[in-house]
Structure formats: structure tokens, C-alpha cells
Amino acid sequence: MTASFSLKGQTNRHQAIPEFCIRDKGGIEGLLEDIGLEILAPSRKAIGILVDANDDLDARWNAVANRL
């Protein structure tokens, strides 16, 4: 899914937010498998990661961080 947004700041001017893509990895296992390739993509300037960590926050963070 590709999204584009506009942001209105204190100067009352609209600013375009750069286009970004949301990729559903189908769960933590899919994310952990693909994260290395996603980070190394040639055109990648930034990456954001959102995961559910209801069970064990430290373990989930370590699983992601160990692959970065």
C-alpha cells in the first residue's frame, strides 16, 4: 500500500510528506525473515518498524534488533 499525506504546520502552509509504502509481512516471522533485505534496498532512505509486543516487549525488541 502506498500513501501520501499533507501536513499543515504553524505557518499555515501545507507541506507534502514524502510518499511511503506500508508492507504487511504477515506477522513477526515474515518481518524477521525479510528485514535484512528491506534495510539494504538500494533506494531506501528510511525504514519504520511496527510490531505487536503484548507478550514480551524485551524479547520482541531483541528479535528485531538482532537482525539490524
Residue 23 to residue 8: CA distance in whole angstroms? 26
Task: Please determine, for residue 4, whether its predicted confidence score (pLDDT) is greater than 60.
Answer: no
DSSP β-bridge partners for residue 20: 3
**CA dihedral defined by 30, 33, 39, 41, rounded to 10 degrees?**
-90
Task: Please determine, for residue 3, whether its predicted confidence score (pLDDT) is greater than 80.
Answer: no
Q: What is the pTM of this model?
A: 0.64
Could you report the per-residue pLDDT of 34-64, keeping only the tens digit for each? 999 889 989 888 888 888 878 888 999 999 9
More confident residue, 2 or 21: 21
Report CA 30 to chain centroid distance, whole Å: 14
Could you report the per-residue pLDDT of 6-35, keeping only the tens digit for each? 555 566 666 677 788 888 999 999 999 999
